[in-house]
Amino acid sequence: MAMNPQQRAEFVNAYTRALITAWSSEEFSSRLNQDPKAALAEVGLQIPANAQVQLVRTVPEGSHEGSLDAQVALYENGLSTGRYEFHIPETPQIDMAELSEGDLDAVAAGSSIGCCCCPCCSCT
């Protein structure tokens, strides 16, 4: 069952709230694991009482399954079948690349010569 543009936008907004809330609140994330229907309802995703909900909390790295279009398709499938699958991975890890020695030297030495404050201060 394909959603119209308004339904799709409402779903995307609610799904985004689910992701952000799960990533920012351990309490919500725990409720999501224990009672996904109730937790999803808190963010605006109403799931029928007789429906099944499967949470995928670990999406393989590089997997296309984590895309928004894939999640929309899974939700539309759930509307037809009564079996909903939500990809809500654990808190994403930000890839913090280490600075090279050259980068560290530039930071330690300062990237420009001169004062770093505005011209109106008293360092002149």
Using pLDDT thresholds of 50, 70 and 90, give the confidence band for residue 90.
Answer: confident
Helix, coil or strand: residue 106: helix
pTM comes to 0.69
Phi, psi torsion values for 56, nearest 5 degrees = -110, 105
Phi, psi torsion values for 61, nearest 5 degrees = -60, 135
Q: What is the mean pLDDT of residues 9-23?
A: 95
Q: What is the pLDDT of residue 66?
A: 56
Taking the alpha carbons at both ends of the chain, their separation in whole angstroms is 69
Res 34 pLDDT > 80? yes
Long-range pairs for 94-99: beta carbons < 8 A, 24 or more residues apart:
none
Reported as a single tens digit per residue, the pLDDT across 37-57 is 999 999 999 999 999 999 998
- 3-state secondary structure string, 49-102? CCCEEEEECCCCCCCHHHCHHHHHHHHHHHHHHCEEEEECCCCCCCCCCCCCHH
Q: What is the mean pLDDT of residues 27-33?
A: 95
Phi, psi torsion values for 122, nearest 5 degrees = -95, 25
Instruction: Provide the β-strand partners of residue 86.
Output: 55
Q: What is the mean pLDDT of residues 81-104?
A: 72
Res 100 pLDDT > 70? no
